[in-house]
Structure 1
Amino acid sequence: MTGVTRWTGHEAGLLRKAMRKTGKSFAELVGVNQRQIPRWEGRGETLELSLANQAALDTVLAQADPDAQRRFAALLTERAAVEHDERAEELLRRDPRTSRHSGDGKLMAIVEEGIYLSGPDNRSVWLEPYLIDIYPTTNEDYARFVFATGHRPPLHWPAGRCPVTLANHPVVWVTWLDATAYARWAGKSLPTSHQWEKAARGPRGRIYPWGAEPTAAKANTAEAGIDATTSVSRYQSGVSPYGAFDMCGNVWEWCSTEEELGNGRYELKGSAFTSPIERATPSQRNAANAAMKDNDTGFRCVAQP
């Protein structure tokens, strides 16, 4: 069982329920006054616990019996899945241009045919219509692919299993070859660098998906100070004109476009939690060897409409 990144009253309440403890007995385990427990659970996610209490809960979770740990993991997963599905269904209701792909079930948005302004010089480029994933490929998405194909899991998965606490975070430690294999399994492909950029900037050449200002609160870049991936649906104010999330920050995303030299290096777009927001402009270019993998590199897919 992996640990909890940030304990709030919500996670503490789930752990108590998973361990099937009363407020009094759970308080004794954590080492707090029993009156604290209903206050924690009442405040839920609005209450981030002190570092001492977070450390105590880490210990309680680590020492819990395997059945309680499994129940806790199931409760966390259930909550994450509900939140993700609610957000997805909201997008479907709000925008009839969105649809679920039959291959991997991910929500996709249509990018209409036409010219868009590309690169730092805003050169006009024509593209045919295509669908693009609204969210990057998550650990949960990738787990279904691994289960179906036997493909090797990412190295950050304990014992080769998708961490419950990262289910709705973008998958990382994947090479270009891994990303291509997933896309092929799903009946999709990796986007070209032009497709990725248009989905991020829109047709009129926005500097960032949301406009011209480098607003750090709209993306998981180095300025956020999180120093890790975040849920793919977290930054709702930073979506692109087509409704795509995390086109700036969180993780670099592999594209199908090979560098002009044809040396086995492929373009990456969007920057990551490790990069300053100035590097997150969708017009910028980056590339890496197809075998490269890192803790800040993932992908999303495109498909024919």
Structure 2
Amino acid sequence: MEFSEKLGVSDRIVSRWESDGEQATLRMVNQAALDTLLAKADQDAQGRFIGILAADDIPTQAVIEPDEEQKLSGEYVKHPGDGKLMAHIPEGIFLSGEDDYPVWVDEFHIDTFPTTNADYARFCAATRHPVPDHWENGRCPRELYDHPVVHVTWRDANAYAAWAGKTLPTAEQWEKAARGTSGRVFPWGDQKTAAKCNVRETGVERTTSVSRYHSGVSPYGVYDMVGNVWEWLASPTVPGRYELRGSAFTSPLFRGIPSALNDADDTMHDDDTGFRCVIPMGHLVPSKR
């Protein structure tokens, strides 16, 4: 009763969602209300929510170890270079590409959130690297600190990664972190639910905070793997061009399917392209968050 009142829907609708489970179809306004409630919840509740999402992704293919994602997803560490939270991605096979071809990926950590304007500002201050052209008087507006940095070229992204002691993710690393091991279409499952991410159908028409879309996290608790901004990868397509994945607020939902390919010249920059970093398994500082 209390839960339905907070959402502004009837008890009958909530009961139907519960009975339909993963097959439930929510109106965008209801999904947005759920995201808002989750954003206001305490960190323990948010952590339990991410754990529940991860536990739903139990692999069905014989080539995958049965409890791998359920056991390991949601493990976060803090990187000593740039202080960002990183999610643990275990070694093993995942189903890759449109054909779900099995691919082995070694163990690694990936940034839980895309690189933000605040992250990038610290990098620029430490290295005197040029700031993005659109920052007013060379400074990012305070209200955009927790939005993903944009107007960064592949070369800019690679320079940040080197400064932080990280690398850009390969296509295989990025896709596994986004999809999990069992071939789900989107980070949250197979449902085409635009309200779980910042894409064209959502109607936001700009970047959003990197921690906004709690219900759209990947099986490993990684945010914004669909929508908000395209992300530069380490994988070249031809000399001077590199892969991009994940789509952006300017893109329709179908472009955000993690197996979908895109690329661009390494000097390209625009208002819907950013990045995140990875690091091989190593000595990192555990987070108390």
TM-score by length of 2: 0.73
Structure 1 contact 98–110 (Cα < 8 Å) conserved: yes
- Equivalence for 2:199: 221
Listed as ranges, the matches of 1:25-174 within 5 Å are: 91=47, 97-174=75-152
Q: Which aligned runs of 4 or more in structure 1 are off by greater than 6 angstroms?
A: 92-96
Structure 2 contact 196–215 (Cα < 8 Å) conserved: yes
Gap change, CA 1:289 and 1:87, over 3 Å in 2? farther
User: In structure 1, the residue corresponding to 2:207 is in which secondary structure?
Assistant: coil
Structure 1 CA distance for aligned equivalents of residues 44 and 100 of structure 2: 32
Is 1:266 the counterpart of 2:229 in the alignment?
no
- Equivalence for 2:169: 191
- Equivalence for 1:277: 253
Is 1:291 the counterpart of 2:279 in the alignment?
no
Structure 1 contact 218–237 (Cα < 8 Å) conserved: yes
Structure 2 CA distance for aligned equivalents of residues 185 and 87 of structure 1: 30
User: In structure 2, the residue corresponding to 1:255 is in which secondary structure?
Assistant: strand
> What is the letter of the counterpart of residue 164 of structure 1?
R
Gap change, CA 1:96 and 1:255, over 3 Å in 2? closer
Return the offset for 1:148. Answer: 0.3
> What is the letter of the counterpart of residue 110 of structure 2?
I
User: In structure 2, the residue corresponding to 1:159 is in which secondary structure?
Assistant: coil
Structure 1 CA distance for aligned equivalents of residues 130 and 85 of structure 2: 25
Gap change, CA 1:257 and 1:139, over 3 Å in 2? same
Return the offset for 1:90. Answer: 6.3
Structure 2 CA distance for aligned equivalents of residues 120 and 96 of structure 1: 26
- Calculate the aligned-residue CA RMSD, in Å: 2.2
Return the offset for 1:163. Answer: 1.2
Structure 2 CA distance for aligned equivalents of residues 170 and 87 of structure 1: 22
Structure 1 contact 88–107 (Cα < 8 Å) conserved: no
- Equivalence for 1:203: 181
1:147-179: per-residue Cα shift (whole Å, max 9, x none)? Answer: 000000011210111210100000000000000
1:242-267: per-residue Cα shift (whole Å, max 9, x none)? Answer: 000000000000000000xx321000
Q: Percent identity?
A: 57
Q: 2:155 aligns with which of 177, 188, 192?
A: 177
- Equivalence for 2:25: none
User: In structure 2, the residue corresponding to 1:228 is in which secondary structure?
Assistant: coil
Return the offset for 1:226. Answer: 1.0
Q: 1:253 aligns with which of 203, 225, 231?
A: 231
TM-score by length of 1: 0.69
Structure 1 CA distance for aligned equivalents of residues 220 and 108 of structure 2: 12
- Equivalence for 1:31: none
1:95-149: per-residue Cα shift (whole Å, max 9, x none)? Answer: 7721100000000011000000000000000010000000000000000000000
Give the aligned length.
Answer: 221
Structure 2 CA distance for aligned equivalents of residues 284 and 301 of structure 1: 20
Structure 2 CA distance for aligned equivalents of residues 128 and 206 of structure 1: 20
Q: Higher RCO, 1 or 2 (CA under 8 Å, sep at least 6)?
A: 2
> What is the letter of the counterpart of residue 222 of structure 1?
R
User: In structure 1, the residue corresponding to 2:168 is in which secondary structure?
Assistant: coil
- Equivalence for 1:14: none
> What is the letter of the counterpart of residue 293 of structure 1?
H
Structure 2 contact 90–108 (Cα < 8 Å) conserved: yes
> What is the letter of the counterpart of residue 119 of structure 1?
G
User: In structure 1, the residue corresponding to 2:137 is in which secondary structure?
Assistant: helix
Q: Mind listing any 5+ residue stretches in structure 2 that lack a counterpart?
A: 1-32, 34-38, 52-72, 282-289
